[in-house]
Amino acid sequence: MLTWVGRSLAVGAVWLLVVGLTSETSVAAGEGQQADRARSQRFYPALQREVGDPELIARGRVLYGINCRACHGMDLRGGDLGGPNLLRSQLVLRDEAGELMGPVIRNGQAGPAGSLMPAQPLSDDEVQAVAAYVHDVLGTASRQGGPPLGEEIALDILVGDATAGRTYFIEKCASCHSPTDDLQGFATRVSEPQELQNAWVRGGGRTAERPPVTVTVTTPSGEQVQGSLERLNDFLVVLTEPDGRHRSFSRRGDTPRVELDDPTAAHREMLPLYTDTDIHNVTAYLVTLK
Amino acid sequence: MTFLRCVLAALLLVLPSAVFSQEGGLDPMSLVLPLEASWPTYSGDYSGQRYSRLSKVTTENVQQLSLAWARSFNTGMPSFVGANAPDFVGGEGTGEFTIGSQRIKGSILQVDDLLYVTAPDHVWAIDVRDGGTLWHYFWKTRGGPHIGNRGVAMWRESIIFETVDNYLVSLDARTGEERWHTELASFEEQYFSTMAPIVVGDHLLVGTGNDLDAPGFLQSFNPETGELQWRFYTVPMNEDDIGIDTWPNLDAASHGGGQVWVPGSYDPETNYYIFGTGNPTPGYTGVARRGDNLFTCTLIAVDVDTGEMAWYFQTSPHDTHDWDSAQTPILIDGIIDGVPRKLVSTAARNGYFFTVDRVTGEHVVTTRYGATSNWASHIRENGSPNPHPAKEASIPGTLVSPVEGGVANWQPPAFSPDTGLFYTQENNGFNLLYLTDPDPRGSMGLGGKDRITVGTGGNAFTAIDYRTGEPRWRHAWPIGGGGGAGVLTTAGGLVFTGDGSGNLVAFDAGNGTLLWHTRIGNISNAPQTYLVDGLQHVLVATGQQLFAFVMN
C-alpha cells in the first residue's frame, strides 16, 4: 500500500510522463478538434481550458518544485509547512494566466493565525510558467470537486477475522448457502475482495443474473397463478407464467392476494442487523473459498 | 417593524384572492396570502406547507379527476431556426457547450392565464388552459453540471431565474424578452446554480451550489435592477466570525461548503427567511475539518432586510455523507403541551425530523424518521443527532443507511393544518461506503470515496405528527417503489405524490388510504394545484412531460 506521501510522488511521476509524451507527440488536426470539442463539454473553465504550451508547463513544474512545493505539496493539495491547497484556492481558480497568482507569488501574503507566505522572487516569465503548470494540474481534476485521480492506491480491505467470519456464516448464512456447494470456488469466480464483499452483502453480483422473484397471485375465486415477477406496485402485479404467458392483475388493497418468494429477501432483511465487523469477518472467510 | 409586516394585516382584509397590483404585474405583497387560487412563488406561498385551501377535489370525488391537457418539452439543445426556435436567446456562452435532455424538477408558477415552466437554461410561458407556448427563452450556457432548475420567481411584470453558469436573468413576463442579467457567483470557482429565487418585499433571495470546497452563501438582490443588497456566508470567513471554533482553522472553514441550493420559507411576523444549508466539504473525508462545522447542515433564520442571522439549529453536525440539510422547512402555527407556538419543521436528508421554535430557534422535537438510518450514536442534549465516527467511509467498507441521496432530498414535503401531519417520502437504502483517499489532508469535493448500493430496508411515504415527530400513518411502497417525488396536500383532505413506480397517487391525508392513481411516468417535481375558470386543476411533471388534471 502506498502512503499518501508515496501517492503524491506517484502523481508527480505521472505528470513527468504526461509532459514528456505531450512534447514528443504531434496530434493530427482532426483528433485535435475532437479533443477541443470534448474539452468544451467539460463543466468548468479550469477543465475547459486549452492545453497549455508543454514546454512552459514543464518549466513551471520545475519552478514549482523549487519554490512552492515545500509549502503547497507535490500534488498542490497543501503541504507539511502549512501552505493551503491550491486546487481549491478561489484565487487560483479565478486566475487566467498568472495575473492574480503573480502578485501573491512575488509579494507573499499574510496567512491565517499570523502565518506568512514568503515572497518568491520570480520573473514575469517564471510566474507565467508556474501558473501554466498549476492550471494544467487543475485541468485534470475529477468530477464533483474531486482531486486529480493520480495513480490508484492499492488499499487492503481485508481486515476481518476469517475464523469469526466462519462462525457467523454457520449461524446466519448456512441455511441457504454452503462452502462446498453454491459457494464452492466463490473467491475464484469473484477474485477481487471488494467486489466479493459487495456481491455477498447485496446477494448477487453486479452483472451476474439475479435469481428471479416468484410470485403467487390468489384471486377472490381461489384461482392461483404463479410465475416470475415482472412488476409490482400498489395497483398492479405483472408476471410471466412458466409457459411464457404474460399475466397482469389489478390490485385493490389486499385483493388479489400477492405472495412473493424472493431468494434475496434474506439479504435485505439482514442489512439492518449487520455490524461492520460482521461484514468484514464474513468477507475474510469467504475470500478463502477458492 | 418592517413595511411588509405593517401591510400584512391590511392585505388579508382587502385582498381576497387578487394578486395584481396597480403598478402592474404580480404584487409582491400578495405573496403573504395563503395558497389558494394561483401558485405565485416556489412553495405556492411563503409557509413551505404546499397546502392548498382549494377543496373542489375531495376524498369523495378524486376518482373523477380527468386529464385537461398534456404536452412535452424539448429540454435539450433547441433548434435556433424554424418554428420551434426560442423567441429569445441570451447567455454568455459561445453555444459550444451542448446540453442534453433535462427533467422538469422545478415549481411551475401559475399567475393569471399563464404557467412558467423551467428546465436548465430554458424558460417557457404557456397557456394555463391548453399548455400552448406563449414564449420560450433559451440561455447559451458556459457549462456547469446541468442537474436541474427549481423554477422562476415573479417580480411584478418580470420573471427571474438562475442559470447553471450563475447568472440571474430577468425577463419580461409578457414577452419573454430579456430585461437584464447579472452574475451571482463565480463560475471559475465552480459554483453552479439551480435554486428558484424567492421574492420577499423588495428583496430577491438567491442561493447557489458548489461541490468544490467553496463557501456557501445566500444573497439578496434588488429584483427590479439586479443590484446586490447583501450576502450572508454560511461558514466563517474571518478569524473572529461566529462558528469559527467548530473548525480546526479558517482555511478549512472558508472552504467548508454549506451551499444554499433549495428555497426556504418566510415568516412575515418576524421577517425571518428560514432555510437549510448544504453539507460541509470535503464531503466524505472529515479528517481535516474536525468539529461540528457550523453553519453547514443547519437550519438558519436571517432577517430579510439586513441579512443578519437571528438564530440557527444544526440538524447534522460534522456530516461526512453528503447529506445536506437544504430541504425546504415548513412553518407551522401549532400547539405544544397546550401552548400555542410558532414553529418550523424539517425532515432532513440524514433521516432525522426536527421541530424548532421559529422565533427563537429553541429546539422542540428530534426523531429518527428514516427507519434504517444508522449513522448517529445518540441525540445530543440540544437536539442535534451525534455522528458516529465508525459510520464514516472506511477502507474495508462501512454499511451506511441512507444512501447518498438521503432519506429525503430536495423534493418538497408538505404539511396539512387540518391533519397536523408533515408528509414526506422516506427512502431507506443501504450503501457500502469505502474510503479510497486516506490522505490525512482529506480529499476534495465529493472525492475520496467509493460507494455501492447493496439493498434497501424498504421505502415508504410517511405522515409525521409535528408535535411528537412520530408517524401517525406510514405507507410502505412495494419493493422497487418510493424515491423522489414531491408532495402536495389540500383542504380537500388529499395528499398527492408519486409512488416511484410510474404513478401519480392521491392518499387520504388523514389515514393514508390510497384513493386514486394514474400511470403517467415517474413524477419529477411536486404536484401543484390552482383554479382555472373556477375549476380545480392538478399539475405535475414527469421528466419532459407536463400533465394538467381537472375536476369538471
What ipTM is given for this predicted complex? Answer: 0.92
Q: What's the rounded mean pLDDT across residues B132-156?
A: 97
List pLDDT tens digits, range A180-230. 999 999 999 999 999 999 999 999 865 555 778 999 999 999 999 999 999
Check CB contact under 8 Å for B436 and A155: yes
- For residue B319, how many C-alpha atoms fall within 13 Å in the half-sphere facing its CB? 34
Rounded to the nearest angstrom, the minimum Cα separation between A290 and chain B is 20
Work out the pLDDT band at A243, boundaries 50, 70, 90: very high
Label residue B518 exposed, middle or buried (CB < 10 Å: 0-12, 13-18, 19+): middle
**pLDDT for B462-476, tens place per residue?**
999 999 999 999 999
Query: What type of residue sits at position B242?
Result: I
Residues near B344 by beta carbon (within 8 Å), at least 6 away in sequence: B265, B267, B274, B299, B329, B330, B331, B332, B355, B356, B357, B358
Q: Are B350 and B407 in contact (CB under 8 A)?
A: yes
- B376, β-bridge pairs: B387
Take residue A251 and report the three cell numbers written for it: 390490485
- Which structural domain, as residue segments, surrounds residue A109? 4-145
Average pLDDT in chain B? 95
Task: Take residue B156 and report the three cell numbers written for it.
Answer: 411584478
Q: List the CATH number of the domain containing B290.
A: 2.140.10.10
Kindly report the nearest CA distance between residue B503 and chain A, in angstroms.
9
> Average pLDDT over chain A, rounded to whole?
86
pLDDT at position B516 is 98
DSSP string of B447-506, one letter each residue: -SEEEEEEEES--EEEEEETTT--EEEEEEPPTT-------EEETTSEEEEE-SSSEEEE
Say what the pLDDT of residue B533 is. Answer: 97
- Per-residue confidence band for B14, with pLDDT thresholds at 50, 70 and 90: very low
Asked whether the beta carbons of B120 and B146 are under 8 A apart, the reply is yes
**Closest approach of A72 to chain B, Cα-based (Å):** 12
Separation between Cα atoms, residue A265 and residue A215, nearest integer Å = 13
Strands B421-426 and B429-435: unpaired
pLDDT at site B1: 42
One-letter identity of residue B425: Q
Beta bridge partners of B170: B160, B180
User: Three-state SS for B15?
Assistant: coil
Question: B190 to chain A: which residues are within 8 Å by CB?
Answer: 43-44, 46, 93, 145
Q: Residue B487: which of B514, B511, B463 has the closest Cα?
A: B463
Query: Same structural domain for residues A32 and A92?
Result: yes
pLDDT at A101: 97
Cα-based distances in Å from A39 to A46, A50, A138, B98 = 10, 8, 13, 12
CA separation (Å) from B460 to B336, B428, B471?
A: 27, 8, 11
3-state secondary structure of A279: helix
| Residue B222 grid coordinates | 434588488
CB B173 within 8 A of CB B240: no
The model's confidence at residue A152, banded by pLDDT at 50, 70 and 90, is confident
Together in a domain, A252 and A279: no
Give the E-state strand segments of B184-329 in sequence order. 191-192, 198-200, 203-207, 209-210, 217-221, 228-233, 265-267, 272-276, 298-303, 309-314
As a whole number of angstroms, the distance between CA A176 and CA A182 comes to 9
Residue in chain A closest to B458 (alpha carbons) equals: A268
| Closest residue to B481, CB basis, from A93, A156, A233 | A233
Mean pLDDT in residue range A67-92: 92
C-alpha cell at A258: 400477492
Q: Do both A254 and A282 map to the same domain? A: no
Specify the pairing of strand B494-498 against strand B503-508: antiparallel
- Residue pLDDT, tens place only, A115-137: 789 999 999 999 999 999 999 99
A contacts of B507 (beta carbons < 8 Å): none
Question: What gap in Å lies between CA A184 and CA A221, rounded to an integer?
Answer: 45
Omega before B86 cis (within 30°)?
Answer: no
**A-chain residues near B401 (CB < 8 A):** 271-272
Q: Is the pLDDT at A1 greater than 80, yes or no?
A: no
- Rounded Cα distance between A238 and B480, Å, is 14
Using a CB-CB cut-off of 8 Å, the residues of chain B touching A144 are 211, 445-447
Chain A interface includes B133 (CB < 8 A): no
- Give CA–CA dist B199/B308, Å, rounded: 18
Partner A contacted by B77 (CB < 8 A): no
Q: Min CA distance, A142 vs chain B (Å)?
A: 8
- What pLDDT sits at residue A151? 76
pLDDT at A65 over 90: yes
Domain count, chain B: 1
Pairing of strands B352-357, B339-347: antiparallel
pLDDT reading at A75 higher than 90: yes
Examine residue A179 and say whether the peptide bond preceding it is cis (omega within 30 degrees of 0): no
A252 shares a domain with A170: no
Cβ(A91)–Cβ(A137) below 8 Å: no
Contacts of B478 in chain A (CB under 8 A): 232-234
pLDDT tens digits, B344-392? 999 999 999 999 999 999 999 999 999 999 999 999 999 999 999 999 9
Residue A153 lies in a domain: no
CA distances from B275 to B261, B262, B324 (A): 10, 8, 12
Cα→Cα distances B178→A125, A235, B138, B173, B174, Å:
43, 46, 10, 9, 11
Instruction: Kindly state the helix (H) or strand (E) to which residue B8 belongs, with its residue range.
Output: helix B3-14
Q: Do the Cβ atoms of B281 and A84 come within 8 Å?
A: no
Judge whether B95 is closer than 8 Å to chain A, CB to CB.
no
Q: Could you tell me if A165 and A281 are in contact, meaning their C-beta atoms sit under 8 angstroms apart?
A: yes
Q: Which band of pLDDT confidence, cut at 50, 70 and 90, is reported for residue A249?
A: very high
- Dihedrals φ, ψ of B198, to 5°? -120, 125
Q: In this structure, are A254 and A167 located in the same domain?
A: no
Write down the pLDDT at residue B316. Answer: 98
Residue A223 backbone zone (phi > 0: left; psi -120 to 50: alpha; other: beta): beta
CA–CA dist A264, B480 (Å, integer): 14
Does B444 contact A198 at a Cβ distance shorter than 8 Å?
no
CATH of the domain at A242: 2.30.30
Which of B98, B213, B452 minimises the CB distance to A41? B98
| pLDDT confidence band for B24 (50 / 70 / 90) | confident
Q: Could you tell me if A10 lies within 8 Å of chain B, comparing CB atoms? A: no
Does B481 reach chain A within 8 Å, measured CB to CB?
A: yes
B401 touches chain A (CB under 8 A): yes
- Which residues of B fall within a CB distance of 8 Å from A141? 212, 444
Say what the pLDDT of residue A150 is. 77
Quick one: pLDDT at residue A37? 67
The confidence score (pLDDT) of residue B39 equals: 98
Q: What is the pLDDT of residues B42-58, one digit of tens each?
A: 999 999 999 999 999 99
- Among A288, A290, A269, A276, smallest CA distance to A173 is for A269
Same domain, A205 and A226: no
> Which chain B residue lies closest to A258 (C-alpha atoms)?
B478
Tell me what the mean pLDDT of segment B388-412 comes to.
Answer: 97
**Nearest residue in A to B432, CA atom:** A198
Nearest to B97 among A40, A141, A279 (CB): A40
CA distance A122 to B529: 64
Residues A166 and A120 in one domain: no
Q: Which of A194, A206, A249 has the most B C-beta neighbours within 10 Å, making it the best mutation to test the interface with B?
A: A194
- Touching check for B98 and chain A: CB below 8 Å? yes
Is the previous residue joined to B295 through a cis bond, with omega within 30 degrees of 0?
A: yes
Domain count for chain A: 3
* Together in a domain, A140 and A8: yes
Work out the percent of chain B whose per-residue pLDDT is above 90. Answer: 94
Residue of B nearest to A153 (CA): B436
Nearest to A146 among B374, B398, B447 (CB): B447
Amino acid B484 reads: G
Residue of A nearest to B444 (CA): A146
The pLDDT score that the predictor gives to residue A9 is: 35
Q: Is the pLDDT of residue A11 over 80?
A: no
> Is the minimum CB–CB distance between A170 and chain B shorter than 8 Å?
no
A34 pLDDT more than 90: no
Domain range enclosing B230: 3-550
Coil, helix or strand for B260?
Answer: coil
Mean pLDDT of A251-269: 94
What integer pLDDT is reported at residue A27 of this predicted model?
Answer: 40
Tens digit of pLDDT for each residue in B487-543?
Answer: 999 999 999 999 999 999 999 999 999 999 999 999 999 999 999 999 999 999 999
- Side chain identity at residue B58, one-letter code: T
What are B542's three cell numbers? 414527469
Give chain B positions within 8 Å (CB) of A93.
186, 188-190
**On the CB side of A83, how many CA atoms lie within 13 Å of its CA?**
21
Q: How far apart are CA B248 and CA A78, in angstroms?
A: 15
The pLDDT, as a whole number, for residue A33 is 64
Residues A90 and A169 in one domain: no
Please state, in angstroms and rounded to a whole number, the distance separating the CA atoms of residues B231 and B253: 17
Helix axes A4-24, A54-67, angle to 10 degrees: 150
% pLDDT > 70, chain B:
96
Chain B residue with CA closest to A38: the answer is B97
Residue A31 has pLDDT above 70, yes or no: no
Say if A28 is an interface residue toward chain B (CB within 8 Å).
no
Tell me, letter by letter, the H, E, C secondary structure of B376-406: EEEECCCCCEEECHHHCCECCCEEECCCCCC
Nearest CA in chain B to A94: B188
Residue B2 has pLDDT above 60, yes or no: no
* B189 with A94: Cβ contact below 8 A: yes
Same domain, A139 and A8: yes
CATH number, domain containing residue A73: 1.10.760.10
pLDDT band at A80 (very low <50, low <70, confident <90, very high): confident
CB contacts under 8 A, B 200-259 vs A, are: 210-214, 239, 249-251, 255
Alpha helices in B231-381 (DSSP H): 250-254
Q: Could you tell me how many CB contacts below 8 A there are between chain A and chain B?
A: 189
CB B229 within 8 A of CB B220: yes
A196 and A252 share one domain: no
Chain A residues whose CB is inside 8 A of the B97 CB are: 40-41
Per-residue model confidence (pLDDT) at position B317:
98
For the cut 80, the answer to whether the pLDDT of residue A20 exceeds it is: no
CB contact under 8 A, B446 and A194: no
